[in-house]
C-alpha cells in the first residue's frame, strides 16, 4: 500500500495535493504516526519550509524514509503561532529558530527559540512579504 493511502486511511481529514499532504490541525499526530509506524519509518525531517502568503503562513515538512527510500511532504497553515515538533524530531530545533527569526512565528513547546541568523536586536522579520527593504541595491530590476 502506498504511504499516502495509509495516511489517508488513518487521517481522513487531510487533503492531497499534487506533491504534498495538507492538514489543518493534525500535523503533530501525522508526524508522530509517520515516524512511529514501522512499515513507514519516516525517520528524517529534512527541513521546514515556510511560505508567506500575506494572510497566513504555510509550513511544509518534507520527510524522508530511509527504510522505504521515499519522500513525502506534509503541510499546514498557521498565523503567528505553531506547535513545535522538536519532541518528535530533535533536528527541527534549528529550523524552528530560523523560521522564528525570518518569519516571526513562535513555536510553542520549543523553549530555546532564538534569532539564528539576524542579530538579536534586529527589528522585523526579513522573509515576510510586508518587510520593508531599506537597501536599494536589492531592487535592481526597476
Partner 1 sequence: MNKMTLNLGPQHPSTHGVLRLILELEGEKVISCEPDIGYLHRGMEKIAESRSYIQYLPMVDRVDYLCGFFYSYAFCNAVEHLNHIEVPQYANYIRVMMMELNRIASHLLWLGTYLLDLGAISPMFYTFRERESILDYFEKITGQRMMYNYFVFGGVRHNILYFDDVLNIVNNILFKINEYENLITDNPIFLSRTKGVGVISKTKALDWGLTGPNLRASGILNDYRMNMEIYDDIEFDIVLSNEGDCYSRYIVRIYEMRESVFIIKQCIDWLKSNKVIPDPVKFSHNEYQKGEIYSFVEAPRGLTLCYLNSVGETTPYRLKWRTGSFYSTQILRDILKGVSLADIMAIYGSLDVVLPEVDR
By the criterion CB under 8 A, which residues form the site for partner 1? 18-20, 43-47, 49, 51-52, 60, 62, 64, 66, 69, 71, 73, 89-91, 93-94, 102, 115-118, 126-127, 133, 138-141
Cα 106 to Cα 142: distance, rounded to the nearest angstrom: 35
Q: Smaller CB distance to partner 1: residue 27 or 92? A: 92
106 neighbors 29 (Cβ within 8 angstroms): no
Q: What are phi and psi of 139, to 5 degrees?
A: -120, 65
Q: Smaller CB distance to partner 1: residue 10 or 71? A: 71
Q: Smaller CB distance to partner 1: residue 90 or 109? A: 90
Q: How far is the CB of 91 from partner 1 (least distance, A)?
A: 3
Q: How far is the CB of 6 from partner 1 (least distance, A)?
A: 20
Q: Smaller CB distance to partner 1: residue 2 or 9? A: 2
Please give the full DSSP string across 39-99, using - where no structure is assigned: TT---EE---EEEE-SS-EEEEEEEEETTTTEEEEEEEEESSEEE--TTT-TTHHHHHHHH
Cα 139 to Cα 32: distance, rounded to the nearest angstrom: 43
Q: How far is the CB of 9 from partner 1 (least distance, A)?
A: 24
Q: How far is the CB of 129 from partner 1 (least distance, A)?
A: 9
Amino acid at each position: 500500500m502506498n504511504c499516502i493511502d495509509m495516511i489517508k486511511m488513518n487521517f481522513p481529514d487531510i487533503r492531497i495535493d499534487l506533491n504534498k499532504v495538507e492538514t489543518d490541525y493534525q500535523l503533530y499526530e501525522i508526524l508522530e504516526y509517520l515516524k512511529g509506524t514501522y512499515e513507514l519509518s519516516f525517520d528524517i525531517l529534512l527541513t521546514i519550509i515556510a511560505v508567506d502568503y500575506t494572510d497566513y503562513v504555510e509550513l511544509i515538512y518534507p520527510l524522508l524514509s530511509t527504510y522505504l527510500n521515499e519522500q513525502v511532504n506534509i503541510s499546514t497553515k498557521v498565523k503567528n503561532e505553531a506547535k513545535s515538533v522538536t519532541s518528535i524530531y530533535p533536528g527541527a530545533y534549528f529550523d524552528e529558530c530560523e523560521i522564528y527569526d525570518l518569519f516571526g512565528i513562535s513555536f510553542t513547546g520549543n523553549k530555546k527559540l532564538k534569532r539564528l541568523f539576524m542579530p538579536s536586536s534586529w527589528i522585523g522579520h526579513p522573509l515576510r512579504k510586508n518587510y520593508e527593504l531599506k537597501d536599494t541595491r536589492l531592487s535592481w530590476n526597476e
